[in-house]
Structure 1
Amino acid sequence: MTRAPQPHEPVRKPTAPLSEAAFTLLVQGVLDYGIFMLDQQGYIISWNAGAERIKGYSAAEIVGQHFSVFYPTEDNASGKPQWELETAVAEGRLEDEGWRIRKDGSRFWANVVITALWDDKGQLAGFGKVTRDMSERRAAQHALKERRRLFDHLVQAQETERRRIAWDVHDDSIQAMVAVGMRLQLLADRVPEAYSAELHRLDTSVRGAISRLRNLTFRLHPPGIDRHGLLEALSNHLEDAVTSWGMTYSFEHRLDREPPPETAITIFRIVQEALLNVHKHAYGRTVALLVQSADGGILTRVVDDGTGAPISPGAVHDHFGVIEMRERAETAGGWWSMRSEPGTGTTVEFWVPNPDPVPASTDDQS
């Protein structure tokens, strides 16, 4: 077993360059990459252990065959193998991703690099070819893409249902209660004064309920986010909600690009719930909102100067609003946290990915 150098002990340097035999052993022993050589026409002249593991052929089975045996029928029909060699000669190297065929006939997704090799006279000596099996990474990318599609569908479905409920409340419940309020006012003017005061109290209660329902419809479907984008929607919500609570706010934002609608809605909903918690529980005077691009996503932080309180694990898991915020962030592929101490206020922080738009798939054209 090789002994690791001890502290302050000089590191032993190699006494000679890696020999050709040792280098050959290194290439032959690599398992994660298929490394082999082709002659000038594309026939296989060497084969390493990684190529055998990835493609399934032993050296005895494959050396001497043309490398086009690894390509699907449609690629051979289009002349792709020869085109790749010609491109490698013209440009020095070629890199490609696409389907390749194993010995058993199964397909795998490969990253391939072909490098033209020249002798000391400038003549083409052949090609070096390195192949890596990318099937697992491609499957993970597809799984992530599918998760994103399902997330987008879920957000759209939730917002559609919220919009429907908001419309139903506005067009049915609120209108019915407005009509009740008008009838109470008419009755209050016609009945004896002993009953009139009670009817006026009922009318006040109805007006309060209408106001709360209107606030509910706003929370269910705030105007603007689908037309003006995330930052303007957040700014408008801060002005409308936080100001009406008698608080002041600051809003700092540094986004390198506007998020897609589903991501924008997720961020807005979490901020909306965090601000509502500030209003209900913090007893603070100011709230600060930060939204910025970070680590390929969007980091958002809501900080209040309220009373604060130690947060027990049970409270984090049991409070409905907290559960909703955390689940929204995690469903989007991100994270969420909340920290608070007495006298220092509360900080809600979360991050969600903001992926680049996915281009149209070209898998079948590789």
Structure 2
Amino acid sequence: MTREPRQGPGVRKQTPPLSDAAFTLLVQGVLDYGIFMLDPQGHIISWNAGAERIKGYRAADIVGQHFSVFYPPEDQAAGKPQWELETAVVEGRLEDEGWRVRKDGSRFWANVVITALWDEAGVLQGFGKVTRDMSERRAAQHALHERRRLFDHLVQAQETERRRIAWDVHDDSIQSMVAVAMRLELLAERVPESYRAELRRLDVSVREAIGRLRSLTFRLHPPGIDRHGLVEGLSSHLDDVVSSSWGMSYSFEHQLDREPTPETAITIFRIVQEALLNVRKHARGSRVDLVIKASDGGIMTRLVDDGTGAPMSQDGARDHFGIIEMRERAETAGGWWSMHSRPGTGTTVEFWVPNPLRLPASERTGDAT
């Protein structure tokens, strides 16, 4: 009995080349791609199962017809089918995406590749054409695009409302309370001594309330984020609020490949702002470290404090408004948010949001067709 020689280490048994019949069988059986051939004038001379599935024609119905039948009337009138063949001849191949028409008249979004085929003598023998139905992908992209546009509108509406409230508080409530404080101060100088101490305590309370309202207006609409971008806006906020007002130390590391869109920048700023407020109110720490960097087509942000950790437990604060707001902002933007801590080790807030390119002005205002 003869045996085949054993293959040594690293030696592969060569696979025989695919026969013409086997290759034809492969092409004919592919269902995800319409693969067919055209003669030099653009008439269909072969047809596979994928083409039948995508376009709805059986081979007997379509072979011999001109391939322009697959194009919408407006493209036929513009001469697009012939232009594509001419381009494929000059360039060797052509790739295009656009509307195509099925046998039943319905349209679908297709990716098309046309390749010019030449014989050994350099004579054009026809064209190979590969078509893929991209309708589902296009619909998904359209849905994502629409979600993005709605998200931008939501952020803009929220910021407009915050700005309006900040202006109303500053121009109405604060000014009225300042007038009250001035009257209390004048009144304290005119009343008997026995009433002055109480009036001065009222004056102090009013001025403290004025300070809190001014702090509120700053949080509602901090300066800088609209004009100077995310990094400078965060830097100013850390310096003016965390360091100067709260007396905490901080570090800020940023590695961005490009400036985020205004809506993305505002989303990141608001989440960081809320996280810092929670550090101030609950963590009882003395330092925060902030990192923002480009990651996976978006921006990753991490805020770490050196506080107690326990009060900011995610499981124990499910209904905390600030926690809910941070998570919802990140998830509405199409990202994620998390928080983890252990007693005595501080708290870490991490979140990621996508950083898409800015939409054209017409699409931001909803005028796109």
User: Taking structure 1 as the reference length, what is the TM-score of the superposition?
Assistant: 0.93
2:338 matches 1:337: yes
Counterpart contact for 2:93–2:114, Cα < 8 Å: yes
Counterpart-to-counterpart distance in 2, 1:200 and 1:310: 37
SS of the residue aligned with 1:241?
Answer: helix
SS of the residue aligned with 2:61?
Answer: helix
* 1:280-325 Cα shifts (integer Å, max 9, x gaps): 1111111011111111111111111111128655435311101000
Counterpart contact for 2:39–2:127, Cα < 8 Å: yes
Counterpart-to-counterpart distance in 2, 1:317 and 1:261: 29
Please show how residues 82-161 of structure 1 align to structure 2 within 5 Å: 82-161=82-161
Counterpart-to-counterpart distance in 2, 1:260 and 1:357: 6
- Map of 2:80 onto structure 1: 80
Deviates more, 1:96-105 or 1:17-26: 17-26
Counterpart-to-counterpart distance in 1, 2:313 and 2:289: 24
Counterpart contact for 1:292–1:300, Cα < 8 Å: yes
SS of the residue aligned with 2:16?
Answer: coil
* Distance change in 2, residues 1:310/1:208 (3 Å): closer
Q: Percent identity?
A: 82
Please show how residues 129-278 of structure 1 align to structure 2 within 5 Å: 129-243=129-243, 244-278=245-279
* 1:172-203 Cα shifts (integer Å, max 9, x gaps): 11111111111111111111222110111111
* Distance change in 2, residues 1:223/1:303 (3 Å): same
Counterpart-to-counterpart distance in 2, 1:266 and 1:211: 26
Deviates more, 1:309-318 or 1:287-296: 309-318
Counterpart-to-counterpart distance in 2, 1:347 and 1:237: 19
Runs of 4+ in 1 over 6 A off after TM superposition: 9-12
Deviates more, 1:309-318 or 1:193-202: 309-318
Q: CA deviation at 1:357?
A: 3.4
SS of the residue aligned with 1:318?
Answer: coil
- Map of 1:52 onto structure 2: 52
* Distance change in 2, residues 1:261/1:360 (3 Å): closer
Counterpart contact for 1:316–1:323, Cα < 8 Å: no
- Map of 2:366 onto structure 1: none
Counterpart-to-counterpart distance in 2, 1:195 and 1:359: 64
Counterpart-to-counterpart distance in 1, 2:131 and 2:356: 28
* 1:11-42 Cα shifts (integer Å, max 9, x gaps): 98564222221111111111111111111111
Letter in 2 for 1:124: L
Counterpart contact for 2:283–2:312, Cα < 8 Å: no
Counterpart-to-counterpart distance in 2, 1:193 and 1:347: 54
Counterpart contact for 1:282–1:307, Cα < 8 Å: yes
Counterpart-to-counterpart distance in 2, 1:275 and 1:151: 24
- Map of 2:39 onto structure 1: 39
* 1:255-280 Cα shifts (integer Å, max 9, x gaps): 11111111111111000001111111
- Map of 1:354 onto structure 2: 355
Long gaps (5+) in structure 2: 1-8, 363-369
Counterpart-to-counterpart distance in 2, 1:357 and 1:262: 9
Letter in 2 for 1:201: R
2:67 matches 1:70: no
Counterpart contact for 1:310–1:341, Cα < 8 Å: no
Counterpart contact for 1:300–1:351, Cα < 8 Å: yes
Counterpart contact for 2:111–2:133, Cα < 8 Å: yes
- Map of 1:364 onto structure 2: none
- Map of 1:305 onto structure 2: 306
Letter in 1 for 2:195: Y
Q: CA deviation at 1:146?
A: 0.7
Long gaps (5+) in structure 1: 1-8, 362-366
User: Taking structure 2 as the reference length, what is the TM-score of the superposition?
Assistant: 0.92
Counterpart contact for 1:310–1:340, Cα < 8 Å: no
Counterpart contact for 1:289–1:301, Cα < 8 Å: yes
CA RMSD of aligned residues (A): 1.8
Counterpart contact for 2:87–2:93, Cα < 8 Å: yes
- Map of 1:327 onto structure 2: 328
